[in-house]
Amino acid sequence: MIHLKNADVLCSYFIKTVILWLSDVLPNANWIPSRQMELLFKTLHILQIMYRSHYLPNYFIPQNNMIDHKYKEDCLVLADEIRDILSSGRIRIVIAELLCENDVEGIFLSAKNWDIKNARITSCRILCKTIRKYCVSSRTFCEQLIINESQLLSSLTIMMPIWNSTQCKAMEEVLEILTQIVSLEFTCAFRTVITRQIADFCHSLGTRKSRKKAEILYRESLTLVYPCEFNDGQISGRVQFALFHYLNGDCTGALSEINTIHPAIVDAIKNN
């Protein structure tokens, strides 16, 4: 509906039909939550092949071609769009748009004890606008995924800043129900980023107890693993932890953290 000029060329039942055909050829062991993205890729790939051939047979009445009444030109446009989305890494951006545009703001606003009057909430539309600005280049598919997912994760801090203890409490409660809000593959990355935000707020309070809590949270969130399974080698976590030490006047501790990841940073620069 978002990406096509003629949205009538596609309906959800057509996608369900492809899934039914897939269920005939893929073993039952494949249908598990951890392979959800892989199955979605397969479904869309087959869908675009069927649209390109202008032939999508009904699962229950195979002789019924469900898209024979659709204009072939529109079917080819859809096939090209799906191919481009899959080959460029845009699929995750599209999913993020669909998840965030309508649902996320309502979920966080309704979180228990959230003080709506005092909460400085940036609209989810800013998040969506940010993640649409992914880099279109000659990078590999994997590199493009990392770029897209980096933009998505960094946009969380724009969408959900923590300015007071009420918001902090709400975000802690969001962490507890995170698996109910986001898909399995995004859970770990979202948990890491949100934990770091909470740690930043605790550190800003300036008390001995809050600084200790912040230190614990920073240690818990050193590793950031992206949904595409790229591991940043604790670079972002160590940098943030080094800043924590530096702001507390502990330059030795800050340098120690930076020295830990220095080889990884050098390698990343060499490998571009």
> Could you give the CA distance from residue 181 to residue 139 in angstroms, rounded to a whole number?
31
pLDDT at 107: 41
Percentage above 70 pLDDT, the chain: 76
pLDDT band with cut points at 50, 70 and 90 for residue 185: confident
pLDDT at 103: 44
pLDDT at 212: 95
Window from 44-48, 149-153, 173-177, 184-188 with minimum mean pLDDT: 149-153
pLDDT surpasses 90 at 85: no
- 246: burial class by Cβ within 10 Å (0-12, 13-18, 19+)? middle
pLDDT at 241: 92
Tens digits of residue pLDDT in 92-110: 666 665 555 444 444 444 4
Tens digits of residue pLDDT in 40-80: 888 988 999 999 999 999 999 999 999 999 999 999 999 99
Tens digits of residue pLDDT in 19-33: 999 998 888 888 887
**DSSP letter string, 117-156:** TT-----HHHHHHHHH----SS--HHHHHHHHHHHHHHHH
Window from 2-6, 188-192, 218-222 with minimum mean pLDDT: 2-6
pLDDT at 98: 59
1-5, 61-65, 177-181, 186-190: which has the highest mean pLDDT? 61-65
- Write down all domains in the chain, each with its CATH number in brackets: 7-87 (1.10.1410.40), 89-232 (no CATH)
Helix axes 184-205, 36-52, angle to 10 degrees: 130
Q: Would you give the end-to-end CA distance of the chain in angstroms?
A: 37
pLDDT band with cut points at 50, 70 and 90 for residue 13: very high
Provide the whole-model pTM. Answer: 0.51
pLDDT surpasses 80 at 217: yes
> Could you give the CA distance from residue 122 to residue 159 in angstroms, rounded to a whole number?
5
pLDDT band with cut points at 50, 70 and 90 for residue 205: very high
pLDDT band with cut points at 50, 70 and 90 for residue 7: confident
pLDDT surpasses 60 at 128: no
> Could you give the CA distance from residue 110 to residue 103 in angstroms, rounded to a whole number?
11
